[in-house]
Amino acid sequence: MNKDQVKGRVEEAKGKVKETTGKVVGNRDLEAEGTLDEAAGKAQAGYGDAKEKVKGAIDKM
């Protein structure tokens, strides 16, 4: 697991917490911010996953 995967998944979790908190307290701005953070975390984690796949393919050569 590389740093992009870890950071991305942490950001995803933080975004989910913000989104849920925003829904509970009725704060649409916080909810939207959480949704954006979660999406950014998924993108970063996906980038990290792709890096790992490329590294694995290179290592097999």
Q: Which structure tokens are listed for 36? A: 């954006």
At 12 the pLDDT is: 98
Q: What pLDDT is stored for residue 49 in this prediction? A: 97
Residue from 55, 59, 36, 52 nearest 4 by CA:
52
- Distances 16 to 20, 46, 50, 59 between C-alpha atoms, Å: 6, 17, 23, 35
Tokens of 51: 């890096």
The residues spanned by each domain of the chain are: 3-60
pLDDT value for 60: 87
Task: Render each residue's pLDDT in the chain as its tens digit; 61 residues.
Answer: 999 999 999 999 999 999 999 999 999 999 999 999 999 999 999 999 999 999 999 998 8
